[in-house]
Amino acid sequence: MNETKIGKILIVDDDEDILLAAKMLLKRYAASVTIEKNPKKIPFWLNNETFDVILLDMNFSEDTTSGKEGLQWLQEIMTRDPNAVVIMITAFGDVETAVETLKLGATDFVLKPWQNEKLVATISAAAKLRSSYNEVKNLKAAKKQLEQDINLPYNEMLGESAAMKNVKSIISKVAKTDANILILGENGTGKELVARALHRESLRAERDFVGVDMGAISESLFESELYGYKKGAFTDAKEDRAGRFELANKGTLFLDEIGNLSLNLQSKLLAVLQNREIKALGSNRPVPIDVRLVCATNMPLHQMIKENRFRQDLMYRINTVEIYLPPLRERGEDIPLLAGHFLTAYCKKYNKGLKKISPQAMQKLQKYHFPGNVRELQHAIERVVIMSDGMIIQPDDFFFLNQKPETTGENRIDSFNLDDVEKSVIDQALAKYNGNITKAAKDLGLTRASLYRRLEKYGL
């Protein structure tokens, strides 16, 4: 039998001879065997360790015959960990009580004195059950996370320009490898679409794609979000939670906005990538990880390395291959294809009938600089589909895309309506940073989420 097949075992019995005999037998088959004479220390062990199987005696010194103590401690264990796998240790005369424990959540029971082979087989079967519980829990967590993350109505990479053909060519070359990929490009260029395309064409396509917005994770939440945590690890940790690395195991982990990480968090991430293992908060047990890493940023990482704002050794880890996504203004020939795609989708979504974009309106779109790139074009088409009355979309329907003249001297405010003022200031911040949401939000004193809400509110 494989040495680590059973995993970690906790044995609770007030008979020291039984504890020692069980440990001598099981240490050959388990990763570790912990023995405990005092059942009152069960909460301590459960708070500090995660066990695959728990062997629990039915009777202790305070009550040597009824089995009530064992029932009470079983209930305590199941309350703390509903997925705990507990095997009751009982004398022959307590079989009826032992059967009662099965109704309360025990997995099985063994009779004293036990047969060694039968005990090992029982524990091994219980460990497999625990493993299946963990897998189901992780699958449910992954499904929930993916349902939150995946909100992409347009999951195709559209574009026939030379720049986009080059991007697709690189994807086809590297997708089926496990090479770490770094995607560079301005906000709104479609970096996540590239990451998903890499996953879809990879050998890991049947496993999970898990995305993380690194720019939205604070220093204090970094480890709990990426590595997960155990119940009781901190005040609000009501149950075990798998981190993003664990959810993405055997699949693809997409770290967006990686350029926003502080040097401290860069060091923590580098350590995980080097060791290929994580430790959940509240646990000392390392968990091996196997992920295909795809990172993305709109930040100038190579310049940041020179300025000591990004670790060069981390750069080596994440960019075996770089993919540069050009801004929309550099591939204007793709605008008709993209606009047509968005138009069809939003006409269907809002039951508007199939509208068309006039040649003059399309010409206006192709002349506009689109600081927000494809995302801005998408929002513009959605707004026009909702607001336009006719079936042919005219240039005036895109009045909100007029090029903004350069301002000189003091900024002029033509209205003192607070909404107008806020919209104007946000517009200027976006222009100042060429559509970079992260920089604009920082200059405005807003979070990225708050800025996105205002962009939606004002149709920017």
pLDDT in tens, 185-241: 999 999 999 999 999 999 999 999 999 999 888 888 898 889 988 887 787 777 888
In which residue are the tokens 């008709």 written?
336
pLDDT for res 304? 93
Same domain, 169 and 303: yes
Same domain, 320 and 349: no
pLDDT for res 47? 82
User: What are the beta bridge partners of residue 53?
Assistant: 9
Residue 2 lies in a domain: no
CB 127 within 8 A of CB 147: no
pLDDT for res 325? 93
Same domain, 185 and 297: yes
Mean pLDDT by 10 residues, the chain (460 residues): 68 89 88 90 86 86 65 87 84 70 82 86 84 68 54 60 91 94 93 93 92 88 88 78 90 94 93 91 87 94 93 94 93 94 93 92 93 93 93 92 52 60 81 78 80 74
Distances (CA, A) of 415 to 126, 412, 453: 71, 9, 22
Q: Residue 400 belongs to a domain with what CATH number?
A: 1.10.8.60
Which of 306, 326, 346 marks a domain boundary?
Answer: 326
Residue 149 lies in a domain: no
Q: Residue 92 belongs to a domain with what CATH number?
A: 3.40.50.2300
Same domain, 248 and 259: yes
pLDDT for res 415? 58
Residue 3 lies in a domain: no
CB 398 within 8 A of CB 357: no
> How many CB atoms are closer than 10 A to CB 55?
26
Same domain, 255 and 375: no
Same domain, 115 and 227: no
Q: How far apart are CA 197 and CA 437, in angstroms?
A: 24
Residue 144 lies in a domain: no
Counting every residue written for the chain, the total comes to 460
Residue 380 lies in a domain: yes
* Nearest to 189, CA basis, from 404, 338, 397, 395: 338
Same domain, 320 and 177: yes
**Overall number of domains in the chain:** 3
Distances (CA, A) of 372 to 25, 188, 194, 431: 65, 6, 17, 10
Same domain, 264 and 363: no
Same domain, 177 and 314: yes
Residue 155 lies in a domain: no
Residue 366 lies in a domain: yes
Same domain, 314 and 348: no
Same domain, 321 and 386: no
Residue 450 CA, distance from chain mean position: 21
Which of 326, 355, 389 marks a domain boundary?
Answer: 326
Residue 359 lies in a domain: yes
The parent domain of residue 27 ranges over 8-134
Which of 285, 304, 326 marks a domain boundary?
Answer: 326
Query: Looking at residue 158, what DSSP letter applies?
Result: -
Q: How far apart are CA 440 and CA 449, in angstroms?
A: 12
Token readout for 403 is: 């090029």
Q: How far apart are CA 435 and CA 433, in angstroms?
A: 6
Same domain, 396 and 417: yes
Judging by DSSP bridges, how do beta strands 32-36 and 53-57 pair with one another? unpaired
